[in-house]
């Protein structure tokens, strides 16, 4: 039995990555139709094929969520294809490190544009449809939106902004019946942490880096994309009907250690 209304549809950004792909697979298992977007057309097509093989209804729109015209386009496509929009999952994000001395204004604006600015304005675009369905929004932050990290001023602050945005939107949208929550993953076995590791330590030091990453967690392993996706889809579903404004760590106990 699905935890979503019959005919429900979701819009998922960053759908070609590891967590986005896992979210799409879990939504397919719930019989949720979905509109998927990402800047990676080939990866997006591969995810769509997986979803279709699982029997899911899916359309894809490759593009950049920092572009206002594209945000309007993907919301219109979602509603046009499926007649409604029940869930917005702001999953797209990037991780870029840099010391306080090395971060440039352009790099700061770039990471904020993707991680914090685009989610808000996509909510704004989708809001009339989400109010109509009394839907849900799930934002993707990071445990580093709750904690600090060396060489992470731009990333950490952008992800903290997503947490604050979630709290503010939850307060604004509760009277309309729209729930807003945020997931804060820890170190998940996707390409993202290794991009940061290679930039900070240099290539060829993956084993050393993994040991350091695992050591800071109570559960002594990396998380999987599916473990994050399970929480995202739970928050989007009717099982979380009494949850809004929640920032949920999925971090192996990192934030508790």
Strand-pair partners of 223: 188
Rounded alpha-carbon distances, angstroms, from residue 209 to 120, 186, 201, 214? 33, 14, 8, 9
Q: Is 196 a catalytic residue?
A: no
- The closest alpha carbon to 149, from 20, 19, 18, 251, belongs to 251
CA gap 46, 60 in Å, rounded: 11
Do residues 225 and 22 make contact, with C-beta atoms less than 8 angstroms apart? yes
CA gap 254, 252 in Å, rounded: 6
CA gap 20, 7 in Å, rounded: 21
Which is the catalytic residue, given 4, 82, 155, 196? 155
CA gap 140, 190 in Å, rounded: 15
**Which residues form the catalytic set?**
155
């Amino acid at each position: 039995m699905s935890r979503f209304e019959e005919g429900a549809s979701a819009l998922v950004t960053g759908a070609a990555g590891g967590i986005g792909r896992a979210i799409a697979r879990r939504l397919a298992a719930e019989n949720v139709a979905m509109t998927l977007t990402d800047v990676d057309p080939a990866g997006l097509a591969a995810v769509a094929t997986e979803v279709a093989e699982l029997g899911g209804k899916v359309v894809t729109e490759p593009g950049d969520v920092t572009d206002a015209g594209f945000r309007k386009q993907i919301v219109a496509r979602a509603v046009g294809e499926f007649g409604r929009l029940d869930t917005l999952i702001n999953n797209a994000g990037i991780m870029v490190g840099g010391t306080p001395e090395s971060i440039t204004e352009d790099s700061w604006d770039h990471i904020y544009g993707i991680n914090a600015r685009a989610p808000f304005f996509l909510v704004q675009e989708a809001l009339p449809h989400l109010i109509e369905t009394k839907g849900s929004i799930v934002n993707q932050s990071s445990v580093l939106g709750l904690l600090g990290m060396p060489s992470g001023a731009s990333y950490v602050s952008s992800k903290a902004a997503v947490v604050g945005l979630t709290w503010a939107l939850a307060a604004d949208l509760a009277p309309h019946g729209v729930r807003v929550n945020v997931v804060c993953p820890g170190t998940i076995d996707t390409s993202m942490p290794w991009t940061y590791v290679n930039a900070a330590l240099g290539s060829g030091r993956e084993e050393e880096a993994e040991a350091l990453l695992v050591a800071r967690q109570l559960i002594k392993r990396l998380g999987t994309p599916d473990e994050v996706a399970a929480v995202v889809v739970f928050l989007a579903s009717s099982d979380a009907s009494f949850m809004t404004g929640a920032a949920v760590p999925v971090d192996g106990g990192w934030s508790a250690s």
